Amino acid sequence: MADSREAAVLAVNTLAMGISTAIVALVLVNRDYIPLRSKNIPLVLILYVSTVLWFIGDVFTYYPALVGKLSRPVCILAMSWLRISLGVFAVVSCHVFRIYQYVCIFEWRVRAQGWRLYAPLGLLAMAPVAYGGLASGLPASKGGNAYVESPSMCVSHKPLYFAALGMLLVLLLCWLCAILAMRRIYVCFSEFREMLAMFACTVVIVVLQAVLRWVPGIGDQGVGYNAMVAITDMLVGNTSLAILLAPALWHCYRDRDAYLRFFLHKLKRENRQTEYELANGEALGRISTSVAPSKDLGVLECEIESPTEWTRGVANELCIRHESVSMQTDKRILV
């Protein structure tokens, strides 16, 4: 019979996933907004899908009474593939790959295409595939995942647990090295602080779970430990999505044009237009502005070079009232 505490934890995690789903949906609706598009939306979607798979794996692992009849193959799929390989390993790999893309764009001045794309993806896929294969082939009698009928639950034995923890520590070490390398890359906005916050959150949660697993009365697969792990698991992916997307999404609805103007001007001031164009994979357009010799209150005449109607519309909005432009200035603003 389902424990009411399990249902409460599931409700909390479902609410958290609902908030993340709403955030991602709003990002997709506003995907043409340049500050959001610069977040690499395809990689954001991969991060979101990995978090969802992690959530599904947690449901089968920690709320067995709520999902009905289980079996050992279901336990392997849920615990090893959804929760670990396609969940936590994939989430950490997304962050490592994001930093790799920063290096490609801001250091090497190239996009991650061809071998530059598939080689790092292959390396990052080694841990998820290796662990999933190990869990699938390791018998329960030799330390693999097991299914216990009474009470119905999935159990991970120590050999497989330590294998997962070891691979996770390797991925976290790769992430830390990438963050340290990122310190010398100036990417114009708050990307480094965002990455540092996501790394710190992940490390604190991993350490907390590893320590509490061996505390008597807590880490014995009881409801308290399961609830703690299930909630903190969801903090990793959902917090990452919030840190990456919430600030730009907030500005998108609160002061859309003002923040866009700030974003574009900072790109111009820091001379990062080319890199952000390269990151988005397309020429976002350029606006050449000049002031007509008239007494209109700061109205500019704009000559716009832009590949899309949307970009031209944004350009016109930015050109109408630009009080900071001097009467003899010829500016170029990246859109």
| All residues at 6 or more sequence positions from 120 whose CB lies less than 8 Å from its CB, including other chains | 97, 100, 112
Query: What is the torsion angle, in degrees rounded to the nearest 10, for the CA atoms of residue 127, residue 128, residue 129 and residue 133?
Result: 100
Give the strand pairing for 153-155 and 146-148. Answer: antiparallel
- Residue 52 CA to residue 82 CA, distance in Å, equals 9
Q: Who has greater pLDDT, 64 or 87?
A: 87
Confirm if 54 and 36 have CB atoms less than 8 A apart: no
Nearest to 101 by CA among 26, 196, 195, 202: 195
Each residue of 269-295: pLDDT tens digit? 888 877 877 776 654 444 333 333 333
Q: What is the rounded distance in angstroms from the CA atom of residue 78 to the CA atom of residue 58?
A: 7
Confidence band, pLDDT 50/70/90 cuts, at residue 22:
very high
Answer for the pair 143, 157: CB distance below 8 angstroms, yes or no.
yes
Q: Is the dihedral of CA 235, 238, 240, 243 positive or negative?
A: negative
**Which of the pair, 200 or 331, is modelled with greater confidence?**
200
Which tokens is 228 given? 């703690």
Instruction: State the pLDDT at residue 184.
Output: 84
Residue partners of 89: CB distance under 8 A and separation at least 6: 127, 128, 131, 167, 168, 171
Predicted local confidence at residue 41, as pLDDT:
94
The model's pLDDT over 138-187, given as tens digits with 9 standing for 90+, comes to 998 888 888 888 777 888 888 898 999 999 999 999 999 999 999 888 78
**192 phi-psi bin (left φ>0, alpha ψ -120 to 50, beta other):** alpha
**The two structure tokens encoding residue 183:** 């310190």
**Residues 113-117: contacts with CB under 8 Å, at least 24 apart:** none
Q: Higher confidence at residue 151 or residue 262?
A: 262
